Structure 1
Amino acid sequence: MDDVVTMAAAAVVQQMALDGWSAVRDRFAAFLARRSGASEDAVGAELDTSRAELTAAREAGDEEAAGELETAWRGRFRRAVRDDAAGQEELALLVSRLTAGQPAVRSGDVHNTINGGTYQGPVIQAGSVGRMRLDGRS
């Protein structure tokens, strides 16, 4: 259960920064509303509040905000599916549909900076480069 709950929280917070947020919000709001007795609108409003907090924190340079939000939503998902095998399966399906085609491992945001100096060759800043050669050979 913990893996599904952790993936759900990470997926929700990651999706808060993307364009398709309203569809993601609606799916998770419906899921949580069915299991908590709250209205979909109320849960959707909580998700939107978290999104606004995340946006403001990122604009302010607060790098810990995403982790804090993930922790909060992880608790919410855990309570929603505790002792509910069908709910756990539904949450796993929801997450798998949401993350289809995305890398299985996400190490976090990458913030690179170069200050001063003279560089005589390529400078690459990335979170993951994969298999890349700079000498022109494959």
Structure 2
Amino acid sequence: MDPLTMAAGSALVGAMATDAWKQVRDGVVALWRRVHPERAEEIGRDLEVLRGQVLQAREAEDADTEQALEGMWRVQLQKLLQQDPHAADEVRRLLDDRLTPTLAPSERDRVYSVIQHQTVRGGSGIQVGRDYHQGNASPPKA
């Protein structure tokens, strides 16, 4: 599974248990509205159900259910990107701008601990966190 969808699915489920869940829901529905407008309302209803399930799982300290919910939304996001690969930039923005900022630092670390892989041919590449620099020049000095 694509690391972006893995991270976004995990962040989505984590963010649904925060006070910012309405903004999270609105961001995800807006993504679907742009990519698959015919499914946007259904996704909105699904997210309402998801929030209830996440809150119940957290109250019961049921990590297995929470992981299963992450898996379900990872699959949803993966299908979205398979149908429209150009939506990856929008999913990345959703992850970075709406989902991850709502999470506690420990959850952010977990979301971004996906395996990163880099292949560079004909130059050099430096990858730090979410940033990627490619070319023959040295990376910018901090």
User: What TM-score comes out, normalization by structure 1 length?
Assistant: 0.67
**Could you tell me which amino acid in structure 2 is paired with residue 105 of structure 1?**
D
Cα distance in 1 for partners of 2:32, 2:78 equals: 11
Distance 1:106 1:32, change over 3 A: same
**How many residues in Structure 1 have an aligned counterpart in Structure 2?**
107
| Higher relative helix content | 2
RMSD of aligned Cα (Å): 2.3
Q: Which residue of 2 aligns with 1:22?
A: 22
Q: 1:10 to 1:31 in 2, by over 3 A?
A: same
- CA-CA distance at 1:8 after TM superposition: 0.9
| More relative contact order, 1 or 2 (CA 8 Å, 6+ apart) | 2
Task: Give how far 1:59 is off.
Answer: 2.2
The 8 Å contact of residues 13 and 66 in structure 2, kept in 1 or not, is answered as yes
Paired with 1:92 and 1:9, the residues of 2 have a C-alpha distance of: 11
**Residue 82 of structure 1: aligned partner:** 82
Alignment CA distance shift 1:90-1:73 (3 Å): same
Match of 1:134 in 2: none
| Separation in 1, partners of 2:76, 2:96 | 19
Deviation at 1:41, TM superposition (A): 2.7
Shift of 1:83: 5.5
**Residue 60 of structure 1: CA displacement?**
2.6
Computing the radius of gyration from Cα coordinates, the structure with the larger value is 1
Hey, what does 1:52 align to over in structure 2? 52
Partner of 1:64: 64
Alignment-mate amino acid for residue 86 of structure 1:
H
> Which structure shows the higher strand fraction?
2
Report the alpha carbon displacement of residue 39 of structure 1 after superposing the two structures with TM.
4.2
Task: Report percent identity of matched pairs.
Answer: 30
1:106 is the counterpart of 2:131: no
After superposition, give the CA deviation of every residue in 1:73-126 in whole Å (9 maximum; x if it has no partner): 00000000115332011111211113259755228xxxxxxxxxxxxxxxxxxx
How far apart, in 1, do the equivalents of 2:46 and 2:38 lie? 11
